[in-house]
């Protein structure tokens, strides 16, 4: 048995909800479909997402479906630009009306502006189709950026777009070393154009996944010669980086390379200590993990790669809550806050008829929430301030993330999760004491459980015999499982000012407790 003590008057810091963000390779296509609309509505209702990010803003490489990219640029017979920002504006409007802010990627280069003399568009291992060279016509590129940014200002207003983030590119790691100066020039042009429309717009990047690329980018923005101004350095309001628990390339290899929290912590602390700390001017720049997940690669599916079950099951929400808890602990210990943790997944799987395909989405067919979405919904009910907790250190198999709102409500998530345990069977008891409460007060206790039997649509689907399609499944019953309703409800008296909860919980499970002082 592990013992935890929560002190409701010892505040560890604000609960910044830095994890309330999501994204998708093909979000422009998904947003305007019924499945995307359904998920956006759910995000608004459950308050699980504040930022959305998407690739292909300027792309026109998807000839078979214009909605897969922004399709923003063509030219007339004389080679003069024709801009069309309708698709982008429609999508961003769907976010904004639900209180969600776009992270605007300025990628990739339209065909008319990019080099055509060689194979400039490549499909990378993860399925991303990108241009790995700069624009053939820099003036047309600059004017596209300016027209697009001005369009956003005219469409959404200055106050609104000042709350967004503007990002130079996505995963430029594949650029050749000799072309890096071209990429850095693109960044400098991007910053110059966006901030010329309004100096308070937040600009950054590079959205990479390699520390080597990030090293060179930080050296340029901190010490390099700006390609536009000729002066030293380039403005950067946020640094963006991508980490996955494991890579999709390992999905078919045995023994499996398991996703681990440690990988995130090691990479983040290495970035802080070995890269960012070298440049004092970057000390207060926001750091965004604006792609994460338990496993990369969007198109691999569980029936070809069985280990991807962890993108369907309780593994993913447990990984989420343990990761958030450990990132808060790292922030408290090393003063390196994560300003954004953006889960890469949306509603693509919901657009198909087959259930639980193991893709990295938040919902599956029939708009059924996967356990990862339920995890976000449980975490959305946490309070405004984080509380100090005595007990095992963050990173242990069992732990607590505790919060409060005002002086009369405490909410905490207690979880049991060892990501390397392949057979998490049995139960374990935990003792939770809430100290220094007012004496002789009635406390109303409500609890929500996510384990194999409760609020777990994947396990409920398995109990139905794993039907392939929504027509074969009892979808009504599965949707009921996916809605948070209390599993625990009772009252206690504080007596001498303390409460003790004896909690017996399954291994690989989590519980949200909300305590209200009456």
Tens digits of residue pLDDT in 460-470 = 999 999 999 99
What pLDDT score does 376 carry? 98
pLDDT for 26 equals 85
Note whether 3-8+384-517 and 16-379 share their fold: no
d(CA 266, CA 413): 24
For residue range 246-283, what is the model confidence (pLDDT) as tens digits?
Answer: 887 777 766 677 899 999 999 999 999 999 999 999 99
**pLDDT attached to residue 395:** 86
Residue 117 is predicted with a pLDDT of: 42
Specify whether the CB–CB gap between 444 and 515 falls below 8 A.
yes
Q: Contact, 348 vs 405, CB < 8 A?
A: no
**Which stretches of the chain drop beneath a pLDDT of 70?**
61-69, 115-131, 253-255
Q: Where are the beta strands (DSSP E) in 262-339?
A: 286-293
Question: To the nearest 10°, the Cα dihedral for 121, 124, 130, 134?
Answer: -70
pLDDT of 122: 56
Contacts of 503 (CB under 8 A, 6+ apart): 414, 429, 430, 431, 432, 511
Element at 9 (helix H, strand E): strand 2-14
CATH for the 16-379 domain, from 3.30.2320.80, 3.20.20.80, 3.40.50.300, 3.40.50.720: 3.20.20.80
The answer to whether 166 and 207 have CB atoms below 8 angstroms apart is: no
What is the reported pLDDT for 118? 46
Q: Which CATH architecture has domain 3-8+384-517?
A: Sandwich (2.60)
416 vs 34, 61, 110, CA distance in Å?
Answer: 36, 45, 48
pLDDT at 133: 77
Any idea where the domains of the chain sit in the sequence?
3-8+384-517, 16-379
Q: Quote the pLDDT of residue 128.
A: 57
């Amino acid at each position: 048995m592990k013992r935890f003590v929560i002190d409701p008057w010892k505040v560890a810091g604000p609960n910044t909800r830095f994890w309330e963000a999501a994204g998708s390779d093909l979000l422009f296509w998904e947003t305007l479909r019924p499945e995307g609309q359904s998920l956006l509505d759910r995000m608004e209702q459950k308050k699980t997402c504040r930022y959305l990010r998407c690739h292909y803003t300027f792309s026109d490489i998807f000839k078979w479906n214009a909605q897969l990219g922004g399709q923003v640029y063509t030219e007339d017979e004389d080679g003069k630009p024709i801009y069309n920002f309708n698709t982008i504006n429609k999508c961003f409007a769907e976010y904004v009306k639900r209180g969600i802010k776009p992270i605007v990627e300025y990628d990739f280069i339209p065909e008319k502006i990019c080099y055509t003399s060689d194979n400039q568009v490549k499909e990378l291992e993860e399925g991303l189709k990108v241009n790995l060279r700069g624009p053939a016509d820099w003036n047309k590129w600059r004017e596209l950026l300016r027209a697009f940014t001005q369009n956003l200002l005219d469409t959404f207003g200055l106050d609104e777009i000042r709350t967004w983030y503007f990002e130079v590119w996505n995963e430029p790691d594949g650029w050749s070393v000799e072309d890096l100066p071209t990429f850095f020039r693109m960044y400098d042009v991007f910053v110059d154009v966006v901030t010329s429309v309004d100096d308070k717009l937040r600009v950054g990047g590079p959205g990479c996944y390699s520390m080597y690329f990030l090293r060179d980018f930080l050296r340029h923005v901190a010490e390099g010669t700006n390609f536009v101004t000729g002066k030293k350095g380039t403005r950067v309001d946020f640094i963006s980086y991508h980490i996955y628990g494991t890579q999709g390339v390992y999905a078919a290899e045995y023994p499996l390379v398991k996703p681990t929290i440690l990988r995130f912590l090691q990479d983040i602390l290495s970035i802080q200590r070995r890269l960012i700390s070298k440049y004092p001017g970057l000390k207060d720049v926001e750091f965004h993990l604006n792609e994460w997940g338990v496993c990369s690669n969007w198109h691999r599916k569980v029936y070809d790669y069985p280990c991807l079950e962890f993108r369907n099951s309780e593994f993913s929400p447990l990984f989420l809550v343990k990761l958030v808890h450990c990132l808060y602990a790292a922030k408290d210990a090393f003063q390196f806050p994560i300003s954004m943790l953006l889960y890469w997944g949306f509603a693509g799987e919901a657009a198909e008829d087959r259930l639980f395909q193991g893709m990295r989405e938040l919902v599956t067919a029939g708009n059924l929430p996967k356990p990862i979405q339920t995890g976000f919904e449980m975490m959305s009910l946490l309070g405004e301030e984080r509380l100090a907790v005595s007990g095992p250190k963050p990173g242990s198999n069992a732990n607590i993330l505790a919060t409060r709102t005002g002086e009369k409500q405490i909410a905490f998530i207690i979880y049991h999760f060892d990501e390397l345990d392949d057979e998490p069977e049995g139960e374990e008891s935990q003792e939770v004491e809430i100290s220094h409460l007012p004496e002789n007060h009635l406390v109303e206790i409500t609890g929500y459980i996510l384990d194999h039997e409760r609020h777990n649509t994947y396990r409920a689907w398995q109990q139905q015999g794993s039907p392939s399609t929504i027509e074969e499944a009892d979808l009504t019953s599965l949707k009921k499982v996916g809605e948070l309703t209390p599993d625990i409800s009772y009252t206690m008296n504080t007596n001498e000012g303390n409460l003790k909860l004896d909690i017996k919980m399954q291994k690989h499970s989590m519980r949200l407790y909300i305590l209200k002082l009456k």
